[in-house]
């Protein structure tokens, strides 16, 4: 399992690590130069503007590349010609899917963290007074810390919900690609159609739940009315996210383990 | 006991039947040629054994087991296409094989790579077609596997490379292992074969030792093949 994950991280690092480094450098440059924009003219303004634009481009690129990489890597590495190598390894189908999902989760969280770091650099060092910025963080952290302490259970549930939601959406992509593969001659089109059909089924199920479940409605009302998410609502959504992930995980596993027909 | 066994094995792609209720039993310690024209079902049979395909009906057993992680650990498979990630270099591929296959012998791979002057730090995408073919073969033959399945190992390479590939196969396989070589270029492999299996339109039309074919029909396997598959 660890060996598969090592392979996943090796493969993603080629694309994402350079982007992470570029984003951090550009955010530092943007923070350092943003104050000069107002006072300077001509070439300096142009270069500063260029750095700012590049920073925005790299941040968008991180989000886009992370998503596309997760989908394409699964498609190419398992369903494409590399599948001949991967499916010949003495590991189970479940291990393949788990390693892919875990690798994708790690890259998603890293991309969010790096984007957060660049925002922190920008907000802190782009200010006139760094001390003032830190004072503001201290205040925000104390308020946030207080909130977390008062709602510890909800916070923990929300963290798990966040992770489950990421894995669930990744697994939906995997299940779509796997089901698309059943349509031998047009696997990509099959995957797109599968994704749309899954979406239609999901929204129908959602409306069904909303209609039939009074308790479900109450949970949503509670969420909207109160300032913090009550643990009941967070727990309900976490349970839904886990079931959602398991269903798409099972579909992916079933196709890859029982119906695999590599072109 | 047979190390490779098919029982009424059938594989259909839609309305096309690639393999039709075949029964086959192969013993260890033999080099077997899986011979047939394009589209006869050779690659389908190998892919079923490698578990890249799911049978439509019937069974395939490797050392008595249904294909799965356990059989994959004992099979060294060379597919008929480019299957290595292009961004990886030879060193990384060696590490990958060593990580996953307990029977991989890195020293053997290193020795073959250095004898061919293949530098380990060059990514696969920068290697020539022939060199890639050799890297794939070296990885496959550097395992002490129970079953080697080589799908068209000599197709698409020049005669000098063919000699090298055959020499590598003969020089590196475990004597107690089964070597299954699929090809339609029979004259090149005939000299190394113990047995021949002729596949025609998804059916096994012959399974005999190479000596039997020569004695019974008074011709080489290549000539006999041309006779059987004459258009």
Of the listed ranges A29-33, B25-29, B211-215, the least confidently predicted one is A29-33
Q: Do B72 and B118 contact (CB within 8 A), yes or no?
A: no
Q: What is the mean pLDDT of chain B?
A: 91
The arithmetic mean of pLDDT across residues A164-189, rounded, is 93
- Could you give the CA distance from residue A53 to residue A60 in angstroms, rounded to a whole number? 11
Residues A100, A105, A111, CA angle at the centre, nearest 5°? 125
- From B14, B69, B84, residue closest to A91, measured CB to CB: B69
Of residues B156 and A121, more confidence is placed in A121
pLDDT at position A193: 95
Tens of pLDDT, residues A73-100: 999 999 999 999 999 999 999 999 999 9
The arithmetic mean of pLDDT across residues A163-187, rounded, is 93
Contacts of A202 by beta carbon, 8 Å cutoff, 6+ apart: none
Beta carbons of A87 and B50 less than 8 Å apart:
yes
Which residue bears the tokens 């189908």?
Answer: A93
Beta carbons of B73 and A90 less than 8 Å apart:
yes
- From A7, A84, A90, residue closest to B52, measured CB to CB: A84
Of the listed ranges A61-65, A86-90, A132-136, B125-129, the least confidently predicted one is A132-136
Please write down the long-range contacts of A160-166, taking CB distance under 8 Å and 24 or more positions apart. A160/A238, A161/A234, A161/A237, A161/A238, A161/A241, A163/A105, A164/A238, A164/A241, A164/A242, A164/A244, A164/A245, A165/A241, A166/A105, A166/A108, A166/A109
Q: Could you count the other beta carbons within 10 Å of the beta carbon of residue A114? A: 22
The pLDDT of residue A214 is above 60: yes
- From B14, B53, B84, residue closest to A85, measured CB to CB: B84
- Could you give the CA distance from residue B217 to residue A254 in angstroms, rounded to a whole number? 49
pLDDT at position A219: 61
- Could you give the CA distance from residue B41 to residue B17 in angstroms, rounded to a whole number? 9
pLDDT at position A148: 85
A234 confidence band (pLDDT: 50, 70, 90):
confident
Q: What is the pTM assigned to this prediction?
A: 0.88
Beta carbons of A82 and B13 less than 8 Å apart:
no
Report yes or no: A3 at the B interface, CB cutoff 8 Å: yes
- CA of B184 vs chain A CAs: smallest distance (Å): 20
The pLDDT of residue B188 is above 60: yes
Beta carbons of A85 and B82 less than 8 Å apart:
no
Q: In a 3-state reduction of DSSP, which class is residue B85?
A: coil
> What's the complex ipTM?
0.92
A213 confidence band (pLDDT: 50, 70, 90):
low
């Amino acid at each position: 399992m660890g060996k598969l994950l090592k392979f996943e991280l090796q493969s993603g690092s080629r694309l994402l690590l350079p982007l992470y480094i570029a984003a951090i450098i550009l955010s530092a440059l943007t923070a350092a130069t943003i104050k000069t924009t107002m006072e300077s003219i001509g070439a300096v303004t142009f270069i500063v503007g260029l750095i700012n634009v590049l920073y925005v481009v790299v941040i968008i690129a991180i989000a886009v590349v992370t998503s596309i990489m997760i989908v394409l890597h699964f498609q190419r590495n398992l369903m494409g010609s590399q599948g001949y190598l991967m499916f010949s390894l003495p590991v189970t189908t479940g291990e393949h899917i788990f390693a892919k999902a875990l690798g994708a989760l790690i890259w998603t969280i890293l991309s969010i963290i790096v984007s957060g770091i660049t925002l922190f650099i920008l907000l802190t060092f782009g200010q006139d007074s760094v001390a003032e910025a830190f004072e503001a963080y201290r205040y925000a952290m104390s308020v946030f810390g207080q909130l977390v302490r008062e709602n510890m259970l909800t916070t923990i549930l929300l963290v798990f919900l966040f992770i489950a939601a990421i894995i669930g959406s990744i697994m939906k992509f995997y299940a779509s690609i796997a089901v698309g593969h059943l349509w031998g001659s047009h696997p990509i089109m099959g995957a797109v159609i599968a994704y749309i059909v899954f979406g239609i089924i999901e929204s129908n199920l959602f409306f069904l739940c909303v209609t039939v479940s009074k308790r479900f409605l109450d949970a949503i009302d509670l969420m909207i009315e109160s300032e913090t998410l009550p643990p009941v609502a967070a727990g309900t959504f976490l349970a839904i996210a886990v079931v959602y992930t398991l269903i798409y995980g099972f579909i992916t596993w079933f196709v890859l383990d029982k119906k695999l027909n590599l072109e | 006991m047979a190390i490779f066994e098919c029982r009424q094995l059938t594989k259909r792609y839609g309305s096309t039947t690639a393999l039709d209720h075949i029964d086959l039993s192969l013993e260890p310690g033999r080099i077997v040629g899986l011979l047939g024209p394009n589209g006869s079902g050779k690659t389908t049979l190998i892919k079923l054994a490698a578990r890249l395909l799911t049978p439509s009906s019937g069974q395939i057993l490797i050392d008595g087991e249904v294909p799965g992680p356990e059989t994959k650990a004992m099979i060294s498979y060379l597919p008929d296409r480019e299957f290595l990630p292009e961004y990886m270099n030879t060193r990384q591929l060696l590490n990958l094989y060593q990580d996953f296959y307990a029977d991989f012998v890195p020293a053997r791979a290193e020795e073959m790579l250095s004898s061919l002057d293949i530098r380990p730090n060059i990514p696969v995408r920068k290697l020539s077609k022939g060199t890639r073919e050799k890297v794939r073969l070296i990885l496959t033959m550097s395992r002490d596997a129970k079953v080697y399945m080589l799908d068209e190992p000599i197709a698409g390479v020049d005669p000098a490379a063919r000699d090298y590939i055959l020499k590598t196969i003969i020089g590196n396989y475990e004597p107690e292992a089964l070597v299954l070589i699929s090809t339609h270029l029979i004259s090149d492999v005939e000299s190394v074969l113990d047995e021949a299996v002729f596949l025609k339109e998804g059916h096994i039309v012959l399974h005999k030792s190479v000596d039997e074919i020569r004695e019974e029909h008074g011709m080489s396997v290549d000539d006999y093949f041309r006779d059987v598959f004459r258009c």
